[in-house]
Amino acid sequence: MTTQRITKRTVDALQSNGSEFTVWDDTVSGFGVRVRPTGAKSYVVVYRAGAGRGSPVRRYTIAAVGKITPDLARARAKAVLGAVVHGHDPASQRTAERGTPTVAELADQFMTDHVRAKRKAGTAEFYQDILHRIVKPAIGTTKADKLTRLQIGKLHSSLSETPFQANRVLGVVGSMYAFAGRAGIVPEGTNPARGIDKFKESRRERFLTGGELERLGGAIREAETLGIPWRVDDTKPATKHVPKGARVTKIGPYAAAALRLLLFTGCRLREILHLRWQHVDMERGCLFLPDSKSGRKTVILNAPALAVLNTLERIGSYVVPGDDPEQPRHY
């Protein structure tokens, strides 16, 4: 931990190093200058809201550097720490005065201002699903600064039959509260998902048998030639407008090709649907994926995958085009 006497000279000398850091004062414990990656600097004071080591840590922003002097900032830090000694929580009180949003409102702002702006589309969809389907219905009406670890713990426990999903809820909520702290919506350091034990996740790996591969290939051939028949319960009122004729689903050549490429390459669905011809090297038999879930990735193509690609007509930028040839196919 870096400590030194915080003066105008030391504050002016602080420069961004590409990540956020704080320089602490050597006379007033908890008082410091926070430097953002952008270079923005502010006076802060950190304290525990309550007695004991288990009490939550709060960060109170005093003012931006330049608006007040270091000596005045130090005096305000002492005043905040004095209020804490008398049982107050200045950071939470400030948040309350600003009007804290509900968890549902925070989730919407988190998605708009952070996730969709800074995360991949697939990640954004995953976050949106977790928040809309699980978090909002359970705790959406709770004020964001009033959400407790007990509430998150109960929500997590209620998802015990799906441990992977339950653990992802903790991750999404934690990320959302980190955003809320940085944005000043809740006191920094507030994270009701912290300290909750995650469920054990068992990795499951399964490969199709030869018989399953054969049946799957036959189903794809049937779907692109004759079509796959489907049935409805004609006794139900909701089905009275369903056509009475041939009830089959027939897929086009690009949908069939996508299924076969998924089967032959082991790629993720989005990696195939968003695959561009410029990333296909037929001569070397490779796919060069610039933005997969795990980063840049090279996929070696086997003979069946190369055969599928050789049969496709190039009508646009994408190997599996959507209705608009210049847009990827949706699910």
169-206 pLDDT, tens digit each:
999 999 999 999 988 888 888 899 999 999 988 766 66
The top-level CATH class assigned to 103-182 is: mainly alpha
Residue extents of the structural domains in the chain = 3-98, 103-182, 206-251, 255-331
**pLDDT given for residue 138 in this prediction:** 94
Is residue 305 within 8 A of residue 261, CB to CB? The reply is yes
With bands split at pLDDT 50, 70 and 90, how would you rate the model's confidence at 239?
low
What was the pLDDT predicted at 230?
75
Of 97, 133, 31, the closest CA to residue 23 belongs to: 31
C-alpha 92/C-alpha 129 separation (Å) is: 30
320 within 8 A of 273, measured Cβ to Cβ: yes
106-142 tens-digit pLDDT? 999 999 889 988 888 778 888 999 999 999 999 999 9
C-alpha distance from residue 16 to each of 63, 74, 98 (Å) = 18, 22, 29
pLDDT digits (tens, 9 = 90+) for 198-212: 998 876 666 777 788
The DSSP bridge partners found for residue 31 are 45
Q: What residue has token string 């998605």?
A: 111
> If you count DSSP H runs as helices and E runs as strands, how many of each does the chain have, helices first?
13, 10
Looking at domain 255-331, its CATH class is mainly alpha
CATH domain 3-98 topology = Double Stranded RNA Binding Domain (3.30.160)
* Predicted structure pTM score: 0.47
**38 close to 18: Cβ distance less than 8 angstroms:** no
Calpha distance 125→120 (Å, rounded): 9
C-alpha separations of 322 from 94, 134, 155, 191, 315 in Å: 50, 31, 39, 42, 10
Bridge partners for 288 per DSSP: 298
**SS3 call for 63:** strand
Q: What's the CA angle centered on 296, arms 291 and 299, to 5 degrees?
A: 105
Would the CATH topology of 103-182 be identical to that of 255-331?
Answer: no
Looking at residue 98, what DSSP letter applies?
A: H
Residues near 241 by beta carbon (within 8 Å), at least 6 away in sequence: none
Element holding 242 (H helix, E strand) = none
Average pLDDT over residues 24-41: 91
Averaged confidence pLDDT in the chain: 87
**Ramachandran class of 83: left when φ > 0, alpha when ψ lies in -120 to 50, beta otherwise:** alpha
Q: What is the pLDDT of residue 247?
A: 74
Among 32-46, 92-106, 265-279, where is mean pLDDT lowest? 92-106
The pLDDT of residue 166 is 94
pLDDT: is 140 or 237 the higher one?
140
Question: For position 270, what pLDDT does the model report?
Answer: 86
**Which of these ranges, 14-28, 63-77, 284-298, 314-328, has the smallest mean pLDDT?**
284-298
**Least confidently predicted of 50-54, 75-79, 114-118, 126-130:** 50-54
The pLDDT-based confidence of 152 (bands split at 50, 70, 90) is very high
Is residue 152 within 8 A of residue 173, CB to CB? The reply is yes
Tell me the average pLDDT across 212-231. 85
Structure tokens at 262: 């998924």
**pLDDT of 86 strictly over 60:** yes
Q: Do the Cβ atoms of 121 and 97 come closer than 8 Å?
A: no
Residue 134, token pair as written in the block: 């699980």
